[in-house]
Chains A and B, each alone.
Chain A
Amino acid sequence: MSVSGELIAFFGVALVAILGGVLLITLTKVVHMVIALVFTFLSIAGIYLLLSAEFVAIVQILIYSGAITIVMLFGIMLTKHRENDEPSKGGWRKFSLLLAIAGFAVAVYLGIYDLDIPVQPTALHEENTKQIGIELFSKYVIPFEVMSVLLLVALVGAIVLAKKDNEEGDRS
């Protein structure tokens, strides 16, 4: 494997993604965790971009880093919560955790090392926005419509919940 620009970019992006994930677990303040999460989301978008799935990458940024993170920040900032989570204690627990992590690492390594994905040339990377659109509205129309109905139900449900709260607030 030779060192190419793509490889360097991949390592940079992957490093940020993993760092974001680790920080998400280790940081103690909730808002810091969300910011770490944003970095993970952004670098995952970078990985999509390296795989030349530009539409998916941009939508990842638009939906996850933009909208969902802000909703999460809203939720965190406007609700009461303990500022700092206490670190868990207990030697046995830590040891068994270490064992489990090591076992998982070995399993994943063995699983991935000999994995052989047959590569076949595709044209998926050309104009993939157009291709996604065509697939979505020809092959997958029914799932797409069902999804939209599901989202509509969620929207109506949210409105109903919010409405109820408001009326009770007015009465009291």
Chain B
Amino acid sequence: MIKDLLHSAPSLLNFGVYFGLAVLLLLAVLGFVTYGILSERKIMGFMQLRIGPNQIGGKWGLLQTVADVLKLLIKEDTIPKKADRPLYILAPVIAFAPAFMVLATLPFTDAFQFADIGVGLLYYVAISGISTIGIVTAGWASNNKYSLIGGMRAAAQMISYEIPLVMSLVGIVLLTGSLNLNDIVAAQEKVWFIFLQPIAFIVFMIASVAELNRIPFDLPEAESELVAGYHVEYSGFRWAFFMLSEYVYMFAMATLTTVLFLGGWNSIPFLDFIPGAIWFGLKFSAVFYILVWIRVTFPRIRADQLMEFGWKVLLPVALANIFLTAIIKEIVSLF
């Protein structure tokens, strides 16, 4: 349906339909964020032998996040006197807008996807890099030393971990021969890339957790040393925007992991009577659960260890993986 829409003549009606679909996706993502946070807190509680939210909205605390968001909405919006006012206001926008933009190319199922561009994989990496500028700007504009340190750490970390992230994907691109996410899913119809590229998968998981600024790598907002990092001075809905962009990125990253390594909406053999959307949902939930699991299990690493690990371990491993993939591909194609 979307493909017909993209190829049809431009008109106001088509624009309206497309706009409506985008709003629908935004609402769906907001719904995911609401219940993603709740499930994350529940899983964390379960793993740490606590109960987790259980007061608002019945036994499972189903309305806990809704109440939290409401509280943020009606909270006073403070701007520090010495802050750089225009940048302080602009920073959450720069941080959030790319988070939603990256969703445009992600194929959820063969029918439910928005844009199908040739360089979809690079598009994700490039656009998500813009968010870093928002975070650095926020850290600088707050005029607070903790937030500045947080912003600096965010920039350093995102630059160093973006490289192994991209390098780990080169193996997949070599095997598929395309940067298009649809082609990548189509190439996994028989074997998922997690089995063909296990090293790449491990490197990708680690680098993606670092890109998401989640716990073993959450130095930009390490609350025990930097109070809250780059968003110390933010409150109310501006702060919510940073959190929102973080969770939308989590949504996008889980989707990307599913598409790249777990075969997207492809089913496992003999079970293809189950629709692709359900397969996608299952795999997506599994990736999300693993991300939460990592957060609960690992302690935060030190800043110097972070850099050393990224440059001295992840990058060489990713490069070796490219080398290995190229050699194996050539040997296989000989026969």
Q: Which of A's residues lie within 8 Å of B, judged by CB?
A: 5, 29, 31-32, 35, 38, 42, 54-55, 58-59, 61-62, 65-67, 69-70, 73-74, 77-78, 127-129
Whether A66 pairs with B137 at a CB distance below 8 angstroms is no
Contacts of A62 in B (CB 8 A): 122, 125-126, 129
Given A74-B152, A74-B155, A77-B148, residue A67 in contact with residue B122 (CB < 8 A): no
Given A32-B86, A70-B136, residue A129 in contact with residue B119 (CB < 8 A): yes
Which residue of chain B lies nearest to A126 when distances are taken between CB atoms in the complex? Answer: B118
Given A5-B10, A65-B133, residue A70 in contact with residue B155 (CB < 8 A): yes
Whether A67 pairs with B159 at a CB distance below 8 angstroms is yes
Contacts of B40 in A (CB 8 A): none
> What 1/0 mask marks residues of chain B from 269 to 293 whose CB sits below 8 Å from any chain A CB?
0000000000000000000000000
Given A66-B129, A66-B130, A77-B148, residue A31 in contact with residue B84 (CB < 8 A): yes
Whether A67 pairs with B129 at a CB distance below 8 angstroms is yes
| Interface residues of chain B: helix, strand, loop or mixed (majority) | helix
Q: How far apart sit A62 and B98, CA to CA, in the bound complex (Å)?
A: 13
The yes or no answer to B140 lying at the interface (CB within 8 A) is: yes
- Chain B: residues with Cβ within 8 Å of the partner, total of 29
18 other A-B residue contacts (CB within 8 Å) besides A35-B87, A59-B122, A73-B133: A31-B137, A32-B86, A54-B117, A54-B119, A59-B126, A62-B125, A62-B129, A65-B130, A65-B133, A66-B129, A66-B133, A70-B133, A70-B136, A73-B155, A77-B136, A77-B148, A128-B118, A129-B179
A109 to chain B, nearest CB (A): 32
| Interface residues of chain A: helix, strand, loop or mixed (majority) | helix
Whether B126 pairs with A69 at a CB distance below 8 angstroms is no
Q: Which of B's residues lie within 8 Å of A, judged by CB?
A: 10, 84, 86-87, 90, 94, 117-119, 122-123, 125-127, 129-130, 132-133, 136-137, 140, 148, 152, 155-156, 158-159, 162, 179
Contacts of B156 in A (CB 8 A): 74
Q: How far apart sit A70 and B135, CA to CA, in the bound complex (Å)?
A: 11
A52 to chain B, nearest CB (A): 10
Which residue of chain A lies nearest to B127 when distances are taken between CB atoms in the complex? Answer: A61
B156 to chain A, nearest CB (A): 8
Contacts of A69 in B (CB 8 A): 133
Contacts of B84 in A (CB 8 A): 29, 31-32
Whether B155 pairs with A58 at a CB distance below 8 angstroms is no
Q: How far apart sit A76 and B152, CA to CA, in the bound complex (Å)?
A: 12
B250 to chain A, nearest CB (A): 20
Contacts of B127 in A (CB 8 A): 61
Q: How far apart sit A15 and B144, CA to CA, in the bound complex (Å)?
A: 34
Contacts of B123 in A (CB 8 A): 58
B110 to chain A, nearest CB (A): 21
Given A31-B140, A55-B119, residue A38 in contact with residue B133 (CB < 8 A): yes
Contacts of B125 in A (CB 8 A): 62
Which residue of chain B lies nearest to A128 when distances are taken between CB atoms in the complex? Answer: B118
Q: Which of B94, B132, B140, B152 contacts A66 (CB 8 A)?
A: B132
Contacts of A77 in B (CB 8 A): 136, 140, 148, 152
9 contacts between A and B (CB under 8 A): A31-B140, A35-B94, A38-B133, A42-B130, A55-B122, A58-B123, A65-B133, A66-B130, A67-B159
Which residue of chain B lies nearest to A49 when distances are taken between CB atoms in the complex? Answer: B117
Q: How far apart sit A38 and B133, CA to CA, in the bound complex (Å)?
A: 9
Which residue of chain A lies nearest to B135 when distances are taken between CB atoms in the complex? Answer: A70
B317 to chain A, nearest CB (A): 19
Q: How far apart sit A77 and B148, CA to CA, in the bound complex (Å)?
A: 9
